[in-house]
Amino acid sequence: MPPRGDLAGQCPNCGMPRSMWARTWKSFQNSEGRSEVCSFHCLADIAVKTGEDPKDVLLALYMEPDKMVPQEKAFLVVGSKAKGTMTTVSKIAFASKEEGLKFSEACGGKLQTFSQALQLAKEDLSKENNMIAGIRIKSGKIVQPADNQEYCSVCGMFPARYPQSKCQLTLMDKKVYHFCSTRCLFKFLATPPSTTRKDVESALMWVTDYPTTSWIGARTAYYVVGSGVQGPMGHEAFAFDKKVEAQRFAKEEGGQVLTFREMSTEKIEPKE
């Protein structure tokens, strides 16, 4: 079974479930197709990763989350007392200016356009990503592998020894599968244990950004396959947080840039 890209009801960028953050859900289009995210934070994050702003955005209405409004018709209340999603500065959508002003009068915040809210999310992105990374490690959503303790679930090597290639899956029950490389990760995804197949499909999935060694979401990363650079297991799919950095690496070292949806073990392992 090939790995899946977007998960139904789950933000592909951070793994947040729609059931929890329906009020700030977004649907959008870019050159890679149509997708959904949980927040302005993740929308801005994907815009920076891809190098292109989202188009044809639909925003869930805060008071009626089962309904969505086009970006040009949305009125955003920014910075109210309402809890933000992936941010300390909430950005929530209303279908009319009157509704937005009424909410702002009661709960604070400032009325802004979609473009203004997205720009603010971009400006706060670096600070918020650092904050979120710390929370993920503290909460156990990401577990730093310890040398001589955590083994690769496929080959048995120690992921801690490969800071530019290590990966992991975190199941909803916090069981963690560690991997030394994306080669082992995608091999595991292709044939997960039958007892955990369903859980693996909805797991939080993390890979390492090759230039910075920071943990990033696997489903929105870019992968360079077929380069002249070797990984822990030889041929490797090197992960990048930003598309432009993956393209630069491929230009310098050879290979091609693929999205998560395009990845498979066959793309990593050369044909005999």
Say what the pLDDT of residue 200 is.
78
DSSP letter for 80, please: -
Give the position of tokens 């091609």: 256
Q: How far apart are CA 162 and CA 176, in angstroms?
A: 17
190 phi, psi to nearest 5 deg: -70, -35
pLDDT digits (tens, 9 = 90+) for 206-231: 999 999 999 999 999 999 999 999 99
Give the position of tokens 């909460």: 139
Helix (H) / strand (E) element for 47: namely helix 40-50
Query: Is 174 in a helix, a strand, or coil?
Result: coil
Say what the pLDDT of residue 6 is.
42
Say what the pLDDT of residue 195 is.
60
Say what the pLDDT of residue 13 is.
92
- Domain ranges, ordered by start, for the chain: 18-134, 141-268
* Strands across the sheet containing 176-179: 176-179, 167-170, 204-208, 215-217
Q: Which residues pair with 10 in a beta bridge?
A: 7, 17
Say what the pLDDT of residue 1 is.
25
End-to-end alpha-carbon separation of the chain, Å? 22
The residue ranges of the chain whose pLDDT is under 50 are 1-7
CA angle (235 as vertex; 234, 236 as ends), nearest 5: 110
